[in-house]
Amino acid sequence: MADLPATARVVVIGGGAVGASSLYHLALKGWTDCVLLEKNELTSGSTWHAAGNVPTFSASWSVMNMQRYSTELYRDLGARVDYPMNYHVTGSLRLAHSRNRMMEFERVVGMGRYQGMDVSMVSVSDLKDRYPFLETHDLAGGLYDPYDGDIDPAQLTQALAKGARDLGARIVRFCPATGVRRDGGEWIVETPQGEIRCEVVVNAAGYRAQEIGAMFGRFVPMVSMSHQYMLTDPIPELEAWSAEQGRKLPLLRDVDSSYYLRQEKFGLNLGP
């Protein structure tokens, strides 16, 4: 267990994907005097459970921009920090059941192209060509995103943590932040292992972010919701198709019916 430093420029609370990414990006910018506190093991929050889908699609410019950046980061992060990761870029098909949904996709395609991404509208017959198992009778068309894919979220977090550590940042596991107080224009973060004086605190406590916010007298407006997915057994037809094509099916996303369907080895992962 790493010793707790008495001071740091930044204390990040929470060692999931968001906390590890914050620490890594601070270190990349030269802010290496930073400490991440994780009350348990890294990735022990939501991150460990995530299906790991990595979209670029969003109706919001800034969210799309962040997601686009993530796909670029993940492409060579493993090599850059010397931590191999499972990152599959399979592309995705987003289904439209109505003309209105097609209009929404057309707007997103325009936004994506302006951000330098080659996302495109696809016809019903294109959908069938790219995804032969698809029933298309009630579809108006769709959107193809060649950058979509999936990543192992635990490996991603460990890679970001390694990158941050290699640059000089510190991670203290099994060390919860239990309180915080203001002193002389700085923050004192309290833990069972002692206190850290710092300039800035990053709240990356995931579904416990509200508890951390309360330590600062702030209300973090959020609700925690459960999210489940199911995995099927291997499907012989899918295994045969993958062997013939030498690739996985693209991820399927259907917001009108509210599900995603991803090939996981030779079975399927179905999530809401």
Which of these ranges, 12-20, 94-102, 117-125, 138-146, lies near ligand FAD under the rule CB under 6 A?
12-20
**Smallest gap, in angstroms, from Cβ of residue 36 to ligand FAD?**
9
Confirm or reject binding of residue 53 to ligand FAD (CB under 6 A): yes
Confirm or reject binding of residue 47 to ligand FAD (CB under 6 A): yes
Confirm or reject binding of residue 149 to ligand FAD (CB under 6 A): no
User: Closest CB to ligand FAD among 207 and 241?
Assistant: 207
Confirm or reject binding of residue 206 to ligand FAD (CB under 6 A): yes
Confirm or reject binding of residue 265 to ligand FAD (CB under 6 A): no
First-to-last C-alpha distance (Å) of the chain: 38
Tokens of 41: 């093991």
List, as one string, the DSSP characters of 134-153: ---TT--EEEEETT-EEE-H
Confirm or reject binding of residue 177 to ligand FAD (CB under 6 A): yes
How many degrees, rounded to 5, is the angle at CA 222 between CA 183 and CA 199?
20
User: Closest CB to ligand FAD among 96 and 189?
Assistant: 189
Binding residue for ligand FAD (CB under 6 A) from 23, 198, 205, 261?
Answer: 205
Confirm or reject binding of residue 141 to ligand FAD (CB under 6 A): no
User: Closest CB to ligand FAD among 47 and 71?
Assistant: 47
**Residue 245 and residue 237: Cα distance in Å, rounded?**
12
Tokens of 59: 């109706």
Query: In this structure, which long-range contacts are made by residues 131-135, counting pairs with CB atoms below 8 Å and at least 24 apart in sequence?
Result: 131/93, 131/249, 131/250, 131/252, 132/241, 133/237, 133/238, 133/241, 133/249, 134/93, 134/252
- Strand runs (DSSP E) across 65-148, as ranges? 87-89, 92-96, 120-122, 141-145
Binding residue for ligand FAD (CB under 6 A) from 10, 12, 15, 139?
Answer: 15
**Smallest gap, in angstroms, from Cβ of residue 258 to ligand FAD?**
14
Could you tell me how many residues of this chain bind ligand FAD (CB under 6 A)?
31
**Smallest gap, in angstroms, from Cβ of residue 162 to ligand FAD?**
16
Cβ neighbours of residue 199 closer than 8 Å, sequence gap 6 or more: 9, 10, 186, 187
Binders in 17-46 for ligand FAD, by CB under 6 A: 17-19, 37-40, 44-46
CA distances from 215 to 133, 141, 179, 187, 219 (A): 51, 49, 6, 11, 10
Binders in 223-262 for ligand FAD, by CB under 6 A: 227-229
Q: Which residues are 169's β-sheet partners?
A: none
Any idea which residue has 């395609």 for tokens?
109
Residues in contact with ligand FAD by the rule CB under 6 A: 13-19, 37-40, 44-47, 49-53, 176-177, 204-208, 212, 227-229
